[in-house]
Amino acid sequence: MSIFSSYKKIFLLGFIIIILIAIPFSVYIAQQRQRTTTKAAASTTLSFDPASTGGAPVATKVGETLTLNVVLDPSAGTPANQVSFVKLSITFDSSKFTAESFKPSTDPKNTLTSVLEEASLTSGRATISLSIGADPTKVVTTKTKIAILKLKALSVTTPGNPSSVTFGSDTQVLSIASSDQTSENVLSTTSPAIVTINSASVSASPTPTTAILTITPTSLPGNAPSPTLSPSGGNAALIIATSAPTLQPLPTPTFFPQVILPPTGPSENILGIGIVGMIFTIIGGILFLLL
């Protein structure tokens, strides 16, 4: 066996060892880069208007309709998303509320007006799916009111224990930005609506009292006596005394954690082809050494 042949085998053996080390390292780096890109693209938040917190809840009364605007903000992070589709799933206490309607907002800035899935109003849940339609120039890139939810209050909340209206875990926001995957949920965080429900107002009507009329004759010179009506009595005044409300501390609203979906995209296919090619290279090198 020549010296050249020995050096050739040593070189091939070293090349194979380097490839075996490089493959897992390359896979690890590719996965980390994909995860970083996915996290950075989730820049959209969802909240309700009027805004509320544990210390400043929204107040309504039994029998009244509470109107909540769903607010989408695709620019809460960097880079901003270009939202083209939203699936809204909202949950609430069915013993406190019943859903009356759920529809796209009439805000002039709102372009998510194409209803892909009609509103579904069930016990404790309301859903609707909205899209910009076929025109990609209508993507939502700024803070916008996109939907209106109307809930009817059914029963009173206890002091210090308000009711929450929250976004469900199956809520989805899709973006067509170049940095986002086609089916990637770019929803970052959601904020619930905190609501206190008070008892309905009692309307009382004052009861008028009957006036008592007395006739007093009065003599006028040169004329016959003429009766004069002198009323006594009047209407009773109704006074309703109310006690000052006692403020109770309310719990801090719970925020949903960031939703991160598994990375998808063409990079996985390219990486798989590269790994298969490396495996065939290793097999070829081993066969060359044996022959």
**The pLDDT value given to residue 261:** 43
What is the layout of strands, in order, in the sheet containing 44-49?
A: 97-104, 144-153, 65-73, 44-49, 187-190
Report CA dihedral (56, 58, 60, 64) to the nearest 10 degrees.
180
Chain segment 46-81, per-residue pLDDT in tens: 999 999 998 999 999 999 999 999 999 999 888 899
Token pair listed for 1: 């066996």
| Residue 150 reports pLDDT greater than 60 | yes
H-helix segments, the chain? 3-41, 267-290
Closest CA to 188 of 126, 257, 245: 257
Residue 97 near residue 151, CB atoms below 8 Å: yes
**42: which residues sit within 8 A by CB, 6+ positions away?**
77, 81, 185, 186, 187, 188, 258, 259, 260
Which domains, from first to last, does the chain contain? 43-199+252-259 (2.60.40.680)
Cα gap 72→131, rounded to integer Å: 13
Confidence of residue 255 (pLDDT cuts 50, 70, 90): very low
Which of the two residues, 271 and 187, has the higher pLDDT score? 187
Cα gap 180→175, rounded to integer Å: 6
Least confident of 9-13, 89-93, 106-110, 155-159: 9-13
**The pLDDT value given to residue 24:** 76
Query: What percent of the chain is predicted at pLDDT more than 70?
Result: 66
Cα gap 111→277, rounded to integer Å: 47
Cα gap 75→77, rounded to integer Å: 5
Residue 92 near residue 165, CB atoms below 8 Å: yes
Cα gap 209→193, rounded to integer Å: 48
Token pair listed for 260: 């991160």
DSSP 19: H
Secondary element (H or E) of residue 104: strand 97-104
pTM of the model: 0.59
Residue 149 near residue 176, CB atoms below 8 Å: no
Closest CA to 39 of 174, 187, 256: 187
Residue 104 near residue 146, CB atoms below 8 Å: yes
